[in-house]
Structures are given as structure tokens and as C-alpha cells.
Structure 1
């Protein structure tokens, strides 16, 4: 696992330091903590729920009636928390054949444009998903087993998309502030030009 610039040798996945300055760094720090908590709690709850259902089915001959619905909620949570987590750590798939052929100055400009456009798209998706959730909430539909409103399943969609938009906007800002090219607020681009310059 890659390390971030730090005075200590502590893994960033544990303490979530941020190389961004001021309020931007504080926001990045807390977003990272919330994302990691949501992902960790979601996976653990899903595993516990599934194992408990298996034990109930084969040992006590009774399945847990709410297992499927709880897992549906957790899958949505993990998916959209993971979306922003991947953006924070620069882990999203990139089509970079043309991008890699450009000189650093052009790559930097293109990276800023890509981050801003992605932030706008994520914001638009968050807006439309919020409207959709409000329409579901207005219908009064509830889950058959849990008897909780159906929109609870989808509540994490606009949250995840919104946080992802923030991550890309912060990455664009980080690229504007720095001479280096950043894939996220703390992940620098690993490019052939950079490797050659470092070896000289």
C-alpha cells in the first residue's frame, strides 16, 4: 500500500492524514474517516447478518425474515460509500492512452477539466437521485419485512454521489494549488516523465 507524505511511518488508511492545506485538509480528513467507517461497518453488518441467517436456517430451521432487506440496504451503502472512497484514493478506472501521450502541462490542465466535469456530473446525479427518493418517500411505500420506508434503501445514493462530487472538486483544487498532478487529494500521478525526472 502506498504511503502519503508524512513525518511518521503510519499507514494513511489508519490515520487518514491529508496533504491538503487548511479547511480543505480538515474536510478531506473527516470525509476519509466517515467513508472508512461506513464501508467497514457495512461489510461487517452484512457478514454478521448473512452468517446469522445461515445459522438460523440450518441449526434452528428458521431463517431471519429481514436478512434480504437488510442486505439490500447495506449493498447500496457499500457501493456508494465505496464510490467516494475510490475517488479519494485515486482508484477509479481511467482511460489514459491519449492522456499519457501528452506533456505534463497538458496533462495537468486535462486532469483539472476531468475532475471538474466529473464533479458536475456527480452533483447532477445526486440531485436527480434526491428527486427520485423524494418521489418514493411521497408514495408511502414500506419494506414488507422491516416495515420501514422504501426510500431508506436509496438514501445513501445521493450521499455517496455528493461526497464523490466533493472529492473530485477537491482534487481539481489540489491540482490548481500544486505543481504536481494529483489523481486525488493525496495521490500523485505516477507517470513515465515523473519517474525519469526522479532518477536523474
Structure 2
């Protein structure tokens, strides 16, 4: 790139989308890192001091549920979900495009349903308590509507690429120069 050229500044929508992806990634990294630390500490406590931390197993199970649901949206962006697309590939381009639109619409409706029903089950179980920590039992279930909402937002933000099956690798956290590396 010549010195006189300035890199194109992404639009506000592009920056917001990038921020949303980064926030999603950061939450997953934070949850996974704390899970690893807690499980390691619990193993050390159990085998070295013959005492375990009573709440670690329950807390890390809740974290794993949240990681799975929050990670589903990022996996969708990269085309990492299992899909049977042999039939789509055999069809003419116009019909293939229409089927991908139908699939995206069906996914959006399903995710919207998950958001609504997930909120209902979280509310229904909120007044119950988890056995070890006494947290609201709806907390693990809250991962369902939040993860489905995040996945729906991911789908809506890259709808056109999804329909075209134009999946891209989401850059890792801290990889601020990913665009320069691909240029």
C-alpha cells in the first residue's frame, strides 16, 4: 500500500458487527479459561489436600452450557455446523439459492422460537435453587435464549453470505492485523 492511500474505514454497521463478534469470542474465552482454572484448582485440592471445592462442578457445568450456546453462533458464521448439502449442490443455481433462503428463514424462525421458549423455561425454573451453590436454577437455562438470540443475530448479520455459502474464518481475539495478513 502506498503512503498516500488510507485504508478504507469500515462502516458503523461493520464496526458494530465486528464488536459483537469480538464480544461473543471474549465471553467464550473468559468462560473456557475460568473453567480450566477452576477444574485444575479442584483437581489439585482433591488429590493434594483431600478436599474439593464443593461448588466447582456445578458452576463449570453451567459455564459449559453457556459456552455451547454462545459458541453456536460463531460456528454458524464459519459454516462449522453439520449440514447435508449434496442435494443442494446437485440443483441449478437459482433453485439452490431459493433453498438456501428457505433454510435461513427456517433457522431464523427456529432460533426465534428458542428465544421465546428459553425465556419461558428460565422464568419457570428461576425460583428454584441449584443444589451446591443455591443459584437460581433458571441460570443454566438462560443460556438457551441468550445463545439463540446471539446465533439469530449472527445469522441476520451475515444472511447474504449464508445464502451464498460464503463462510469465512472469524479472526481470533487479539488478531488485529488479520485483514493485512490476507491481503
Structure 2 length-normalised TM: 0.79
Aligned partners of 2:82 and 2:123: how far apart in 1? 31
Q: CA separation of 1:54/1:71 partners in 2, compared to 1, >3 Å: closer, same or farther?
A: same
What's 2:25 paired with?
Answer: 36
Runs (4 or more) in structure 1 with deviation over 3 Å come to 21-24, 173-176
Aligned length, in residue pairs:
161
**Which blocks of at least 5 consecutive residues in structure 2 are unaligned?**
2-9, 170-183
d(CA) in 2 for partners of 1:103 and 1:60? 66
CA contact (8 A) 2:121 2:141 kept: no
Q: Which residue of the partner structure matches residue 82 of structure 2? A: 93
Shift of 1:160: 0.5
Structure 1: stretches of 5+ with no match in the other structure = 1-6, 8-20, 188-200
Map 1:15-30 onto structure 2 (within 5 A).
22-30=11-19
Q: Is the 8 A contact 2:114 2:144 kept in 1?
A: no
Q: CA deviation at 1:47?
A: 0.9
CA 1:80–1:183 in structure 2 vs 1: closer, same or farther (change >3 Å)?
farther
Matching residue of 1:11: none
**Does residue 182 in structure 1 map to residue 169 in structure 2?**
no
Rounded Cα–Cα distance in structure 1 between residues aligned with 2:101 and 2:88: 12
| Maintained 8 Å contact 1:24/1:170 | no
Mapped contact 1:115–1:171 kept (Cα < 8 A): no
CA distance in 1, matches of 2:86, 2:113: 27
The RMSD of aligned alpha carbons is 2.1
Mapped to 1, the partners of 2:13 and 2:40 lie a distance apart of 40
Evaluate the alpha carbon distance shift between residue 24 and residue 94 of structure 1 in structure 2; reply closer, same or farther with a 3 A threshold: farther
Residue aligned with 1:144, SS: coil
